[in-house]
């Protein structure tokens, strides 16, 4: 018995947009299957494997039979460990019971959005920014109020811009530092101003610190140094090299934790158990040593890619000091939209990058995101190919 | 800088109810810390560890570096394997691309609810039923329309009852077979009637089959044998013994899959990678042999607990033929509410069980859920203690 009718999906669900990069990825796979060499500068995760001490902890956990549900907020010892990490690395006092372990930063985003927002509310977000914010907000009937940010602002939101964009329905503001897609940081003072503004207006400040630790030539901060009443999203995915383990966390004000814990019970039951045990090894000196070496490596790659792209005529005026992305303005003489640029670049020279359209509307047609999640020689090869591609573009 | 103000949480978030069993669990832990022996008949997960072939596959996956993000819908080979499982075990034709791998059945529930429903919609659910349905629906601004079901109905929803409870806003109906908390099954014909009703009314039929495979003295079905336009929730948690791995799936009508995949990208990014590789071994003959032995074991325990509780005067009139729960009516002469009954039983004889209030309102005060997720000798010991407790109750 086959149904011929279309299922009645919720309009909001139908409105969730596909990522443009997915279409490029499909095409890249096809080309690869045909034997073409493709360089992936679109990948939003470290190419490094999970550090060995974390893997060893995972193996030990499996050996010990750590395969049952944990408490909804996560293993107490992991929450304690994170609390210590904040104290030791950032001098921030974050009590363990203010930290909820979640299924990735993705789970933390769901938790914080659903805890704070109701349909009809609005949230200030940067344009460009991580695409899931917008999509998840809209699924909840919440309107993302996009504020255009530019290279002049380091692609970050200033209190002045936030204030100018404010509406009576704004209930929260979300920023990321280091940011996706630009890799730029939010200065401490700028963050303090945003915090003051949010407090004055009775809105929540949400800071996505998923790229924390991946910072180059700049001091590493946490918004938790600032105040107790910020909501900080984080994850073991990026700095700790654990994307596939789906483990993140949320630091919340004490008074919000009980409600969020109840929500987590219902939404997730609990985060992944072996992953939580594995993550206990994320802070061991042996692990941090590996991670710091990787950080040095990312810095070298950033320097190479930043220099190279600038030499080729891309505009990267902001100061991309973190994450593993560069958000590059197409050379002025390139007469095509970034979507078409990325598509053609993939076809002609086999370099994949993410068109700006995935991150918003503002200037999207002029920007492409390059990720430096591959080795230096590959970056060099990519730069050579892009150079060739630009020559072809010019000669048309 | 400490905030003295209460955070402005969404009223819906504040309205999420705690599970009563959590308070009992806290108390049980305290008693255990004081040296008391506590028998846990409240635990909703198998006591068995994850089967060794699945663990071996997980170890191999870690060895192979399977630690990066997978596609949002899950590993293609796992979706293929599930498709074959439906064909081989249930004679049901479910194409691989209709199966989305999710972070537990919990993730599947979020996905299906958010895909189908908008605020103001209503969903028919059984009272009693799994508590998270209600809570997650309310978080989405959707009203769960509870239909009282009794032992006479095997605690399952009939088409007649569903029809009587219908409202113009009902957009979906969710049932579980085997059910939590009653362990009862939904007959094939009854399911077909519900399906016909939903189809006639343009509503979606959602069937939670998370306890599939854990069925005793009865044939094992899937709603997917019936039609393509049902939404089936399932998980590796229970039958496959993988609770802590947070891996489930959703089978959906073809025409709904694309939207759901986009949603999954935004809500989850992807399910846990090592867990997915591990789950590929869930269908190996060696695993299924272990699982079938466990099933025989669960059956013995059910028989022992069912007989024992009935002998003690508990009313279990339905036919609990699946899962690992018995939903028992307190003996008529017990003059207290099930919440107080469970609390006192824990204090006086150290047996923990879940009060009916966690599953709804209807008859909740007269029912307690006992889980047979512990060994036979422990069940015997528990029955002895409950007997003593009842004698004490009587003598008051
Ligand atoms: C800014 C930002 N936040 C959150 C996430 C979610 O990551 P995860 O769920 O793996 O922790 C990502 C992933 O790319 C991201 O770029
Ligand atoms: C009926 C029912 N559905 C869904 C779930 C969610 O389980 P999981 O997310 O571990 O797959 C449970 C867990 O107890 C359940 O009892």
Strand order in the sheet with B367-371: B325-329, B367-371, B354-355
C-alpha dist (Å) from residue B11 to A108, A114, B20, B98: 19, 10, 21, 36
The C-alpha atoms of residue A78 and residue A71 are separated, in whole angstroms, by 11
Q: Residue B203 is encoded by which pair of tokens?
A: 């509503």
> Given this model, what pLDDT does residue B2 score?
43
Q: Which of B204, B255, B267 sits opposite A106 (nearest CB)?
A: B267
The C-alpha atoms of residue A370 and residue A386 are separated, in whole angstroms, by 12
Please check whether residue A189 touches B, CB under 8 A.
no
Q: How far is the CA of B248 from the centre of ligand 2 (A)?
A: 9
Tell which A residues from 73 to 102 touch B, by Cβ distance under 8 Å.
none
C-alpha dist (Å) from residue B372 to A146, A260, B261, B304, B382: 52, 30, 36, 9, 11
Compute the mean pLDDT over every residue in chain B, rounded to the nearest whole number: 96
Residues belonging to chain A: 396
The C-alpha atoms of residue A356 and residue B106 are separated, in whole angstroms, by 33
The C-alpha atoms of residue B345 and residue B339 are separated, in whole angstroms, by 10
Report pLDDT digits (tens) over A246-299: 999 999 999 999 999 999 999 999 999 999 999 999 999 999 999 999 999 999
Report pLDDT digits (tens) over B175-231: 999 999 999 999 999 999 999 999 999 999 999 999 999 999 889 999 999 999 999
Q: Which residue has the tokens 């970034």?
A: A338
Residues A330 and A314 sit within 8 Å (Cβ to Cβ) = yes
Q: Residue B205 is encoded by which pair of tokens?
A: 């039929």
pLDDT band at B317 (very low <50, low <70, confident <90, very high): confident
Q: Residue B294 is encoded by which pair of tokens?
A: 């466990």
In percent, the amount of chain B with pLDDT more than 90 equals: 93
Report pLDDT digits (tens) over B357-375: 999 999 999 999 999 999 9
Q: Which helix (H) or strand (E) holds B167?
A: none
Three-class SS of residue A317? coil
pLDDT band at A5 (very low <50, low <70, confident <90, very high): low
Query: Which residues in chain B are closer than 8 Å to A25, comparing Cβ atoms?
Result: none
Mutate to test the pocket of ligand 2, among B235, B247, B272, B327 (most ligand atoms within 8 A of CB): B235
- Please name each of the domains of chain B with its CATH number: 11-49+287-391 (3.90.1150.10), 55-283 (3.40.640.10)
Please check whether residue B1 touches A, CB under 8 A.
yes
Report pLDDT digits (tens) over A102-113: 999 999 999 999
Interface contact B8-A118, CB threshold 8 A: no
> Given this model, what pLDDT does residue B285 score?
97
A96-129 burial, b at 16+ Cβ within 10 Å, e below that, comes to bbbbbbbbbbbbbbbbbbbbbbbbebbbbbbbbb
Interface contact A271-B202, CB threshold 8 A: no
pLDDT band at A396 (very low <50, low <70, confident <90, very high): confident
Distance in Å, alpha carbon of B311 to nearest chain A alpha carbon: 32
Report pLDDT digits (tens) over B92-146: 999 999 999 999 999 999 999 999 999 999 999 999 999 999 999 999 999 999 9
Q: B212 in ligand 2 pocket by Cβ < 6 Å?
A: no
The C-alpha atoms of residue A289 and residue B180 are separated, in whole angstroms, by 48
Q: Which residues contact A176 (CB under 8 A, 6 or more apart)?
A: A126, A129, A130, A186, A207, A208, A209, A210, A211
**Dihedral sign, CA of A157, A161, A164, A165?**
negative
Burial class (CB in 10 A: 0-12, 13-18, 19+), B3: middle
pLDDT band at B394 (very low <50, low <70, confident <90, very high): confident
Compute the mean pLDDT over every residue in chain A, rounded to the nearest whole number: 96
Interface contact A255-B7, CB threshold 8 A: yes
Residues A243 and B68 sit within 8 Å (Cβ to Cβ) = yes
Q: Which atom of ligand 1 is nearest to the CA of A103?
A: 9
In percent, the amount of chain A with pLDDT more than 70 equals: 99
Please check whether residue A200 touches B, CB under 8 A.
no
**DSSP E strand stretches across A129-284:** 143-148, 170-176, 204-208, 230-235, 248-251
Q: Which residues contact B253 (CB under 8 A, 6 or more apart)?
A: A3, A7, B98, B228, B229, B230, B231
Size of interface A-B (CB pairs under 8 A): 230
Q: How far is the CA of A105 from the centre of ligand 1 (A)?
A: 6
Q: Residue A282 is encoded by which pair of tokens?
A: 């994320």
A249-276 burial, b at 16+ Cβ within 10 Å, e below that, comes to bbbbbebbbebbbbbbbbbbbbbbbbbb
Q: A358 in ligand 1 pocket by Cβ < 6 Å?
A: no
Q: A128 in ligand 1 pocket by Cβ < 6 Å?
A: no
Strand order in the sheet with B99-102: B99-102, B248-251, B230-235, B204-208, B170-176, B122-127, B143-148
Q: Residue A55 is encoded by which pair of tokens?
A: 């893997």
Interface contact A68-B244, CB threshold 8 A: yes
DSSP B218: S
Q: Residue B155 is encoded by which pair of tokens?
A: 């605690």
Residues B204 and B171 sit within 8 Å (Cβ to Cβ) = yes
> Given this model, what pLDDT does residue A1 score?
40
Report pLDDT digits (tens) over A19-65: 999 889 999 999 999 999 999 999 899 999 999 999 999 999 999 99
The ligand that comes nearest to the alpha carbon of residue A179 is 1
Angle between helices B338-349 and B20-33 (to 10 degrees): 10
Q: What is chain B's Cα-based Rg?
A: 21
Q: What is the ipTM of this complex?
A: 0.97
Interface contact B55-A45, CB threshold 8 A: no
pLDDT band at B7 (very low <50, low <70, confident <90, very high): confident
Query: Which residues in chain B are closer than 8 Å to A115, comparing Cβ atoms?
Result: 9-10, 13
Report pLDDT digits (tens) over B26-81: 999 999 999 999 999 998 999 999 999 999 999 999 999 999 999 999 999 999 99
Query: Which residues in chain A are closer than 8 Å to B6, comparing Cβ atoms?
Result: 255
Residues B322 and B216 sit within 8 Å (Cβ to Cβ) = yes
pTM of the predicted model over 0.95: yes
> Given this model, what pLDDT does residue B162 score?
98
Mutate to test the pocket of ligand 1, among A106, A182, A236 (most ligand atoms within 8 A of CB): A106
Q: Which of B70, B106, B117 sits opposite A10 (nearest CB)?
A: B117
The C-alpha atoms of residue B212 and residue A248 are separated, in whole angstroms, by 31
Report pLDDT digits (tens) over A293-320: 999 999 999 999 999 999 999 999 878 9
Q: B130 in ligand 2 pocket by Cβ < 6 Å?
A: yes
pLDDT band at A186 (very low <50, low <70, confident <90, very high): very high
Report pLDDT digits (tens) over B272-300: 999 999 999 999 999 999 999 999 999 99
Residue A350 confidence (pLDDT) above 80: yes
> Given this model, what pLDDT does residue B6 score?
73
Query: Which residues in chain A are closer than 8 Å to B123, comparing Cβ atoms?
Result: none
């Amino acid at each position: 018995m086959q149904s011929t009718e279309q299922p009645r999906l919720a309009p909001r669900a139908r409105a969730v947009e596909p990522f443009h990069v997915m279409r490029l990825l499909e095409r890249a796979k096809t080309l690869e299957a045909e034997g073409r060499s493709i360089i992936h500068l679109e990948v939003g995760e470290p190419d490094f494997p999970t550090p060995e001490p974390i893997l060893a902890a995972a193996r030990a956990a499996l050996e010990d039979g750590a395969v049952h549900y944990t408490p909804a907020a996560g293993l107490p010892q992991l929450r304690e460990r994170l609390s210590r990490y904040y104290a030791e690395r950032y001098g921030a006092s974050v009590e363990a019971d203010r930290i909820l372990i979640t299924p990735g930063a993705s789970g933390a985003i769901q938790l914080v959005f659903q805890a704070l927002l109701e349909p009809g509310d609005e949230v200030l977000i940067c344009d460009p920014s991580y695409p899931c914010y917008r999509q998840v907000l809209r699924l909840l009937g919440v309107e993302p109020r996009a504020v255009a940010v530019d290279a002049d602002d380091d692609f970050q939101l200033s209190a002045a811009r936030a204030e100018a964009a404010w509406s009576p329905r704004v209930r929260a503001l979300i920023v990321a530092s280091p940011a996706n897609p630009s890799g730029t940081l939010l200065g401490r003072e700028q963050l303090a101003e945003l915090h003051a503004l949010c407090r004055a207006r009775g809105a929540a400040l949400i800071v996505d610190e998923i790229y924390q630790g991946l910072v180059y030539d700049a001091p590493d901060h946490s918004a938790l140094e600032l105040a107790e009443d910020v909501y900080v999203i984080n994850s073991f995915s990026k700095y700790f090299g654990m994307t596939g383990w789906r483990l993140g966390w949320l630091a919340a004000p004490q008074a919000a934790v009980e409600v969020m814990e109840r929500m987590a019970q219902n939404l997730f039951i609990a985060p992944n158990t072996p992953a939580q045990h594995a993550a206990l090894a994320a802070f061991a000196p042996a692990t941090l040593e590996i991670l710091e070496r990787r950080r040095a490596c990312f810095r070298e790659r950033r320097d190479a890619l930043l220099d190279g792209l600038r030499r080729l005529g891309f505009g990267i005026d902001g100061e991309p000091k973190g994450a593993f992305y560069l958000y590059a303005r197409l050379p002025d003489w390139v007469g095509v939209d970034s979507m078409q640029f990325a598509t053609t670049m993939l076809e002609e020279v086999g370099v994949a990058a993410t068109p700006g359209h995935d991150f918003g509307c503002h200037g999207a047609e002029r920007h492409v995101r390059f990720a430096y999640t591959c080795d230096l020689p590959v970056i060099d090869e990519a730069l050579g190919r892009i150079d060739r591609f630009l020559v072809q573009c010019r000669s048309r």
